[in-house]
Every structure is written in C-alpha cells, then in structure tokens.
C-alpha cells in the first residue's frame, strides 16, 4: 500500500480572543465554515454582542485589558478547557504579540496568524527596515539601526535633510512619534519620543527617518499559505487620518496607476517572502507626490479596513485565514484575484469630533443601521449596549461598494445620513462631511487632509442645544397654561421633539 496522505481538515472549534465588531466578524466567518466558536468576555462585556453570539462564552476577568483581553494565561486556559483547537486574535489586543503566538504553539493550539518569529521581526521597525533593505524593498532615507546618542540622530538628520521624523521601534498608532523641523528641536524630540515609547510599549528604542511631506498612505493586503503561495490583493488608500489613526479608507486609490500598482504589489509580496510570512497581513507604504513609494511597516494581522478589499475582490478574508491555518492551500479566488468597482469604509467611533475627539460613554438608547444594495455594516454594538472607557472607542464600520468611486461616495453619504445612534456622541456627521468635501470628491486625499480641511470643525452642537431648549421651553409653556392653554389640556401639545427619532438627538447634534 502507498503512503497515507493526511488531508487538511477544518477546525471543529475556534476561540475568538477579542471583543466588539472584529469578534463578531470572526464569529460570522466561523459560522460560514461550520465551525463552533468560543468567546471570552470581561465583566463589562457580559451582555455584549460578541459574548451572546458565541456557542460558548467564558468570563476572564474585570474590565481592565491587562486583567482580561491581554491576559495570555487566562485565554490559553479557556482554550484548553473548551477544547478549542485554534485561536483567532482579531486585531488589536494580542494580535501582534509574539509571546501569544508562541504560547499557542507551546500548548498545541493553532494561532490563526503568522509565526511568532515573523511577528517579532515585523513588529520591530528597525529590524524590519534592515531585513527589507536586503530584500530590495524601497525604504525611506534614515537610520538603518536604532540610535543611542544624539550625535547619531543629528548626523542622519543632516544627511536626510529636515524635516525628519522620530519613531518608536516597537510602536504604532502615532505613539512615540515626533516631527522635527529644525536641528535645535532634535534633542527635545528624541527625549520626548523615548519617554512616550517607554510608557506605551515598554521599549524606549527610537530611530529617525526622513519626513515625507504631503504623502499618501497606501497599504497592500497580502496573503500567504503554508504551501509557498504568496499574493497581494491590491491596495487600500488610508490617508484620511486623525492623530495618525485611520478613519476613512477606500480601494482602489485614485493615485495608483496600473503600473504603480504592479510595482507596489511586487514589493509587498517581496516583504512577505523575506519575512517567511504565513496568513493574512498588510504591507504599508508612503507614496510621495512624485510617485515614489517607500516601505513603512507591516501589520501582522487582519486590518480594521479589510472589508473594502473583500467587497472589491469578492472574497472572505477572515474565512480564508482560518482555512490557511487549517493547512489548506490558498483558494483560487485569492490566487487569481481581480478588482471590480470601488469600496469605501468609514469607522464609526464613540467620540466627540468637535471636541478634540474626546471619547463618549453611555448607553445606546437607539441603534438603527443603514441598509440597501452595496451597504455593509460590521458592528459590535446593539440597542441597549453600554459603551465604557476601558476599550478602543470604535463602535462599527460602515462599508459601501459602488460601480465606480462617485457611485460609492454617493452611497456612503446616503448610508451615513441613515445611520442612527442615540445616547452617546459619535463621528457619523463628521464622516459624512469628510466624504462630501470637494477635496475628497476630487481624490485629493493626502495625510494632512484632516488638519488642512477640518482643523476648526464644529458640529453646531451649541446651536442645536439652544434650539432643543427653546422647543422644550415652548412645550413646557404650552402644558402649563402658557400661550397654548392649560396644563390639563394635553391636546394643546401638538409636537414633542423628544418623542421622535428624526433630526433630534440625545447626547449629540445631528
């Protein structure tokens, strides 16, 4: 008899090591594949959407992430007790933590993502720059290694030319980052970046690179299986950012030509191969106004904005992640992908865009998602959900698809207008004005879009509050013998704004 071949088999049960909309997204991918799910929750998330959706749910601690969603030992313990064969980390929390990937390996649990070695390599900005330089990937001029003395920073800054950027080697999300315009600002910026990096990441290593003026932030979705196949699934433009955090993404980019797409895509795949990378990831580039592009970093996980790629390419990235981790070769739609139409995503945050993006907390009193052709909502909330201060303020993602960019943009504006959330402040109106802005319509979406066009944005909350108070006073007067008559005659109260859910909002101005 010939040698028996072990065929791949999908997992029976997957633990989702996350919360909110990404946990819901992964649960749905598992259901599509016929896989049972195990969810974990902090005491604050006992009645959260992701908790209720899992086939099994386990409490793992109090709200602080270090005592719950960031506690590797507790999560591994739940995986063992529940019989989960694999863990999907989603994004954020432990998704890019090599120690978590290693702990899964050590305990015979499959980590649905890259190896701990790949995560560690690509998680360090300095080490990854050195590796990518060897692979021929274009790099922003700057340090090839972390700097230890201010003289090293001064020398490289002089060679690259001001302005320059100080960045944390182990960081992301804008933490440990400083723009330096002139030599006399350098030492203060380096010291400040080190302090912030130490506080945020436990590592004060920083380095310097040339600051690219007026760039676009272009990223490529990549995917690799265990059988040597590595591909890219085209670009996403993520230039609309507030405080270095993306809030609007789209694909394809208005700035990327077919030839440039080919060059950048080949560079993205080169990054994957140089890192011996398996599963889904994202290679990020900066694109300068002349058309030159530079490797920025690699995110070793599924990105928040992955749905726009799914809509344009016609695939399910979360489900394919699970198939690849199970040992299956990459599916044909990924190996021979093509683009169709245009997609835009807006991230809905619980924050006050008119007040320095301060987080908003409270109870969701009313929740109504937009619907219709080409509209998708990835949400982690429902009516009655409590929004607290312990976690990232993202509530949901609104994603639309259109035959072309103008069609997608019009569809997004309409969907944002129909999206209703009462009880907390949120970013829906802010996002609608961004997508409707003439500069966005013309494709002038550079990384300075927000400070250039929305620096003094205000949603008119004070005017709406005054109108609401005036209306309430009028109603009160009508009900207490004012111009409308006696308080005993309810028929005189012809309109009460608090009994409608139209343009009136509790806790926000629309």
Residues 410 and 483 in one domain: no
Number of H helices, E strands in the chain: 17, 22
Q: Would residue 394 count as lying in a domain?
A: yes
Among 194, 210, 226, the domain-final residue is 210
Cis peptide before 38 (omega within 30 of 0): no
Q: Would residue 365 count as lying in a domain?
A: yes
Specify whether 31 is catalytic: no
CATH classification at residue 198 = 3.30.1490.20
How far apart, in whole angstroms, are the C-alpha atoms of residue 175 and residue 378? Answer: 27
Residues 268 and 315 in one domain: yes
Q: Would residue 349 count as lying in a domain?
A: yes
Residues 360 and 237 in one domain: yes
pLDDT in tens, 371-387: 999 999 999 999 999 99
pLDDT of residue 428 exceeding 80: yes
Q: Which of these is catalytic: 19, 301, 425, 505?
A: 301
How far apart, in whole angstroms, are the C-alpha atoms of residue 440 and residue 428? Answer: 16
CATH classification at residue 51 = 3.40.50.20
Among 210, 244, 266, the domain-final residue is 210
Which phi and psi angles does 489 have, rounded to 5°?
Answer: -100, 85
Residues 279 and 393 in one domain: yes
Q: Position of tokens 């979406």?
A: 445
CATH classification at residue 232 = 3.30.470.20
Write out the residue range of the structural domain in which residue 406 sits: 216-453
Q: Would residue 312 count as lying in a domain?
A: yes
Q: Tell me what the mean pLDDT of segment 204-217 comes to.
A: 93
Q: Would residue 415 count as lying in a domain?
A: yes
Q: Would residue 443 count as lying in a domain?
A: yes
pLDDT band, residue 176 (cuts 50/70/90):
confident
Among 75, 97, 112, the domain-final residue is 112
Residues 376 and 318 in one domain: yes
Residue 142 carries which DSSP code? B
Asked if 206 contacts 165 with a C-beta cutoff of 8 angstroms, the reply is no
Residues 195 and 240 in one domain: no
Q: Would residue 338 count as lying in a domain?
A: yes
Q: Would residue 135 count as lying in a domain?
A: no
Residues 265 and 159 in one domain: no
Tokens at 95, concatenated: 């998704």
pLDDT in tens, 20-64: 999 999 999 999 999 999 999 999 999 999 999 999 999 999 999
Report how many domains make up the chain: 4
Residues 318 and 441 in one domain: yes
Of 94-108, 112-126, 472-486, the poorest mean pLDDT is in 472-486
Residue 276 carries which DSSP code? T
How far apart, in whole angstroms, are the C-alpha atoms of residue 383 and residue 468? Answer: 24
Residues 481 and 406 in one domain: no
| Mean pLDDT over each residue of the chain, to the nearest integer | 90
- CA proximity to 209, closest of 240, 245, 170, 178: 178
Tokens at 48, concatenated: 């959260």
Asked if 471 contacts 388 with a C-beta cutoff of 8 angstroms, the reply is no
Phi/psi class of residue 243: alpha, beta or left (left: φ > 0; alpha: ψ in -120 to 50)? left
Residues 253 and 345 in one domain: yes
Residues 245 and 188 in one domain: no
Provide CB contacts within 8 A for 491, sequence distance 6+: none
Residues 254 and 162 in one domain: no
- Please tell me the pTM assigned to this model: 0.86
- Residue predicted with more confidence, 28 or 1: 28
pLDDT of residue 336 exceeding 90: yes
* Pairing state between β 420-422 and 366-368: antiparallel
Q: Dihedral, CA atoms, 406, 408, 414, 416, nearest 10 degrees?
A: -120
Q: What is the pLDDT of residue 325?
A: 98
Q: Tell me what the mean pLDDT of segment 457-474 comes to.
A: 56
Q: What percent of the chain is modeled with pLDDT above 90?
A: 80
Q: What is the pLDDT of residue 124?
A: 87
Percent helix, strand and coil across the chain, each rounded to 5?
35, 25, 40
C-alpha dist (Å) from residue 96 to 8, 33, 64, 135: 26, 25, 19, 23
Q: Tell me what the mean pLDDT of segment 124-140 comes to.
A: 91
């Amino acid at each position: 008899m010939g040698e028996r071949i072990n065929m791949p088999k999908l997992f029976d049960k997957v633990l989702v090591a996350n919360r909110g909309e990404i946990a819901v997204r992964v649960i749905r991918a598992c259901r599509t594949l016929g896989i049972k799910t195990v969810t974990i929750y902090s005491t604050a998330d006992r009645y959260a959407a992701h908790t209720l959706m899992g086939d099994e749910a386990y409490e793992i601690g109090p709200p602080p992430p270090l005592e719950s969603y960031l506690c590797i030992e507790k999560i591994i313990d739940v995986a063992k007790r529940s019989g989960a064969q694999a863990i999907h980390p989603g994004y954020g929390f432990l998704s890019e933590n090599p120690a978590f990937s290693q702990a899964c390996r050590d305990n015979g649990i499959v980590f649905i993502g890259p190896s701990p070695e790949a995560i560690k390599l690509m998680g360090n900005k300095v080490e990854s720059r050195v590796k990518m330089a060897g692979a021929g990937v274009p790099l922003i001029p700057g340090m090839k290694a972390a700097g230890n003395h201010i003289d090293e920073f001064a020398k490289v800054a002089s060679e690259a030319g001001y302005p320059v950027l100080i960045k944390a080697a182990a960081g992301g999300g804008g933490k440990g980052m400083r723009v330096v315009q002139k030599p006399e600002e350098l030492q203060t910026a380096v010291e400040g970046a080190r302090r912030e990096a130490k506080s945020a990441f436990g590592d004060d290593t920083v380095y310097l690179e040339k600051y690219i003026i007026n760039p676009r932030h272009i990223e490529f979705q990549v995917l690799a299986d265990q059988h040597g196949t590595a591909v890219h699934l085209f670009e996403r433009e993520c230039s609309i950012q507030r405080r270095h955090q993306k809030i609007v993404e789209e694909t394809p980019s208005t700035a990327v030509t077919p030839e440039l797409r080919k060059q950048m895509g080949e560079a993205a795949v080169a990054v994957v191969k140089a890192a011996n990378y398996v599963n889904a990831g994202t290679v990020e580039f900066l694109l300068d106004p002349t058309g030159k592009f530079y490797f920025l970093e690699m995110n070793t996980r599924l990105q928040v904005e992955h749905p726009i790629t799914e809509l344009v390419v016609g695939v399910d990235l979360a489900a394919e992640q699970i198939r690849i981790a199970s040992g299956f070769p990459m599916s044909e739609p990924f190996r021979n992908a093509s683009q169709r139409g245009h997609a835009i995503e807006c991230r809905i945050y619980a924050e006050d865009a008119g007040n320095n993006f301060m987080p908003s907390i409270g109870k969701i009193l009313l929740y109504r998602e937009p619907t219709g052709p080409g509209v998708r909502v990835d949400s982690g909330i429902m009516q009655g959900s409590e929004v607290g201060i312990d976690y990232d303020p993202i509530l949901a993602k609104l994603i639309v698809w259109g035959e072309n960019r103008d069609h997608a943009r019009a569809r997004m504006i309409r969907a944002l207008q129909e999206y209703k959330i009462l009880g907390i402040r949120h970013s829906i109106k802010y996002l609608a004005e961004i997508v409707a802005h003439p500069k966005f319509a013309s494709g002038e979406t550079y990384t300075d879009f927000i400070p250039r066009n929305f620096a003094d944005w205000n949603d008119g909350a004070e005017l709406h509050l005054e109108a609401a108070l005036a209306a309430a006073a009028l109603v009160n007067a009508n009900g207490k013998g004012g111009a409308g008559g006696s308080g005993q005659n309810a028929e005189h109260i012809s309109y009460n704004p608090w009994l409608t859910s139209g343009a009136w909002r509790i806790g926000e101005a629309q």
